[in-house]
Chain A
Amino acid sequence: MKLLFKMFNTFFKIGAFTIGGGYAMLPLIQDEVVEKNKWLTPEEFMDILAIAEVTPGPVAVNTSTYVGYKMAGIKGALICTLGTVLPSFTIILLIVKFFWQYRENPTIDKVFLGIRPAVAALIFSAVYKLGRNMQLNIQRIIGAALTVFAIIILDISPIIIILIAAFGSIGYFKHKEKDI
């Protein structure tokens, strides 16, 4: 019961402070789920990112469902996901009902001018922390660099890159097994 409550709380916090959606919430998930509570190992965290990328739906929902299931079965999955969804749900309802008329307030614009570079900084620091935990060698750095090139310059879908990497890697290690 205590664990379920803690999981709900953690994902509620993640849901409440993720501005910009998607990858903007990774640093917070990393901090809370991997570093502070150790519900996932750094490797598992990367694996879930890959799974979230090849399955439909928001990354935050995918991650909270996975973590919840791992820690406490289906009940855990539902509670973590509810925690992630509830803040946005409540905030949006309040906005549509009460604050819709203030949407062109200049102070809010300024606050967001400050927050946007912070979101970029947070994602870069997630990259730094993922890399630090990964025992980077030259092959892995090349793999990551090629991915950046394929996505930003060639505009290839992440799903395709992940599938190529998965099957390529299976083929490579299978081949190596035969040699031994």
Chain B
Amino acid sequence: MNILKLFLSFLKIGAFSFGGGYAMLPLIRKEIIEVHGWLTVKEFIDLLAVVEMTPGPVAINSATFLGYKVAGIWGSIAATVGVILPSIVIILIIAHFLSKFRESPYVDYAFRGIRPVVLGLVTSAALTVAKDAIIDIKSLIIGGVLFYFVSFKDMHPITAIILAGIAGAIIY
């Protein structure tokens, strides 16, 4: 019974969380603390810390974590499938129609206007992350040096992340 509830709850979260990532946290919070009482507020804050420290999308991490806490391994599978199902279905529909209407001038016009906006969106995301991440001269140097190597010397992003983690452990 809990497994079905988990699935439906995360299906709802997956279907209504626009913008991805942290944008879905308020909805998750409401569903799991207020509606179902699956976690206390304190446990929820710990959950956020884990989600931030582990790789992968916030939504999936929260779903797996919570599903496991509430109903074990099957709970984690039910919650995770629930949270990604809406995106998969919606994107498949869009991808299908996009391949049909690719030649339409309207689709082309719309995307020509959207592309600069996407550039702005990603820039905003970079600025927002930088605001919390660049806290002193050491973090500024880590960020600056890695930006140079990734942008101009073709350093792989994974290499950059690993080097930054090692640098952090040594200098802090």
> Residues of A with Cβ closer than 8 Å to B?
13, 15-28, 31, 43, 46-47, 49-62, 65-66, 69-70, 74, 77-78, 81, 84-85, 87-89, 91-93, 95-97, 103, 107-131, 134, 139-148, 150-152, 157-159, 161-162, 165-170, 172-174
Contact = CB atoms under 8 A, between A and B. Distances in A.
B76 A144 contact: no
Interface string B106-148: 1001111111111111111111111011110001101110110
A28 B157 contact: yes
Contacts of B53: 19, 108, 112
Contact of A74 (B64, B87, B92, B111): B92
Contact of A69 (B76, B92, B120, B132): B92
Given A61-B87, A81-B88, A144-B120, A118 B164 contact: yes
Contacts of B37: none
Interface of B: 14-22, 46, 49-61, 64-65, 68-69, 73, 76, 80, 83-84, 86-88, 90-92, 94-96, 99, 105-106, 109-130, 132-135, 139-140, 142-144, 146-147, 150-151, 156-158, 160-161, 163-169, 171-172
Contacts of B142: 114, 117-118, 121
A43 B24 CA distance: 27
Most chain A CB within a 10 A radius of its CB, from B20, B21, B157: B157
B120 A169 contact: no
A118 B127 contact: no
Contact of A96 (B65, B118, B128, B151): B65
- The A interface is mostly helix, strand or loop, or mixed, namely helix
A61 B57 CA distance: 8
